[in-house]
Amino acid sequence: MVTGASRGIGQACALTLARAGAKVAVAARALDKLEQLAAEIKAGGGEAFPVAIDMESQASIKEGFARVAKEFGRIDILVNNAGVTRDGLALRMKAEDWDLVLRTNLSGAFFAIQQVLSGMMRERWGRIINISSVVGEAGNAGQANYVASKAGLIGLTKSLAQEIASRNVTVNAVAPGFVDTDMTAVLNEDLKNRMKQAIPLGRFGTPDDIAAAVRFLASEDAGYITGHVLDVNGGMYMR
């Protein structure tokens, strides 16, 4: 199950996991884009099921996951990728912008996890991968709400990893740096060049760079890794 799968990182994760042999349920609000993605996966010989979910709504999350469980059976791998931004300086940030970002990015991820936990624990196997961000580790001016949500995902990852490790369910996070997506496409070239100067590898990441990390954490090869934050940022932030 990949949330926020209609574009960018989520779409790349869905395609990569499908190529690795997973049946992939793809979730987002834009059902038409999900249907196109599912068709692409099926054309490549994979299996996919699109489901419209609004990650801001706990009721929508429950309904969507129930539909996937009915169609595919249990969910073994969950990629919490869905997220929104409502940037602004803290002094002038509207309460509704703070609430929307935290409710979607953090609470939505938590409620999604709740839908799969019992099945994973019963089967004694599962992979939960939360997509955080470099700004959740380093901070970023003008994004107090987004940074708080992404830092919260890291804390959630570590707490859950300790709770359910005894059932052979791993919980990890991937923290992307600047990635070529719709969110960065709107930036002007001067700003992009200045941002690249802060990246030792000298380029933005690609959605496939992030998807490769997700595929690894979802695999048996990562079975002894839990509670970890995997930085995929070209070296722009080193702990």
Given the residues 49, 65, 111, 146, select the one marked as catalytic.
146
Cα–Cα distance, 206 to 176 (Å, whole number): 10
Which residue do the tokens 């054309």 mark? 43
Cα–Cα distance, 205 to 74 (Å, whole number): 32
Cα–Cα distance, 39 to 48 (Å, whole number): 8
Q: Is 146 a catalytic residue?
A: yes
Distance of CA 48 to the CA centre of its chain: 18
Torsion of CA 210, 215, 231, 193, to 10 degrees: -10
Q: Of 49, 44, 2, 39, whose CA–CA distance to 21 is shortest? A: 44
What is the CB neighbour count within 10 angstroms for residue 117?
19
Count, residues in the chain = 239
Cα–Cα distance, 126 to 103 (Å, whole number): 25
Catalytic site positions: 146
